């Protein structure tokens, strides 16, 4: 099981950053929350900071978990995905490794074609829409 982290980045207007995977990558064209694999000896938080810097060119603070870890497999790849609330400290998100990035209102999230592992996170965000995160 590969440990993977993702960041749910919410801007001052309550919009969430969604990223579309490159078309030539595994699950290409599907939407996801940005992040990646946790390297050996790395904390989830440190991995997320590194991945968001590499993928989007931003420095973030990592907050609490959004929901319980999601376990997913397609038969070839098995991951445990943990999502964290993140805030941008420095920089402006750029699509350095993704086909496209988009700031979305909560109502727009359901209209995107999400990678299956990210769907429970989307559902949790919509359920939390009245909480302090938004």
State the pTM of this model: 0.86
Where are the chain's structural domains?
Answer: 2-127
The pLDDT tens digits for 48-75 are: 999 999 999 999 999 999 877 888 888 7
Strands (E), the chain: 2-9, 16-20, 31-32, 35-37, 59-65, 70-73, 78-90, 100-104
pLDDT over 60 (residue 9): yes
Beta bridge partners of 72: 79
Question: What is the mean pLDDT of the segment spanning 21-25?
Answer: 73
pLDDT exceeds cutoff 50 at 124: yes
Q: Over the stretch 80-106, which tens digit does the pLDDT of each residue have?
A: 999 999 999 999 999 988 889 999 998
CA angle 51-68-14, nearest 5°? 65
- Residue 118 pLDDT: 92
Distance CA 124, CA 30 (A): 19
| pLDDT score, position 4 | 93
pLDDT (average), residues 7-21: 92
- The band of 76, judged by pLDDT with boundaries at 50, 70 and 90, is confident
Residue 134: pLDDT over 60: no
Handedness of CA 38, 29, 66, 75 (dihedral sign): negative
Evaluate whether the domain defined by 2-127 bears CATH number 3.90.79.10.
yes
């Amino acid at each position: 099981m590969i440990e993977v982290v993702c960041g749910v980045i919410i801007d001052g207007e309550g919009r969430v950053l969604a990223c579309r995977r490159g078309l030539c990558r595994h699950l290409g064209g599907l939407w996801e929350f940005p992040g990646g694999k946790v390297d050996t000896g790395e904390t989830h938080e440190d991995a997320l900071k590194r991945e968001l810097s590499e993928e989007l060119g931003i420095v973030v603070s990592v907050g609490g978990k959004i929901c319980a870890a999601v376990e997913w497999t397609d038969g070839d790849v098995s991951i445990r995905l943990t999502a964290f609330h993140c805030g941008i400290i420095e920089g402006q998100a750029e699509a350095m490794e993704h086909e496209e990035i988009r700031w979305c209102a909560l109502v727009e999230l359901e209209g995107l074609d999400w990678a299956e592992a990210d769907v429970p996170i989307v559902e949790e965000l919509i359920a939390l829409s009245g909480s302090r995160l938004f």
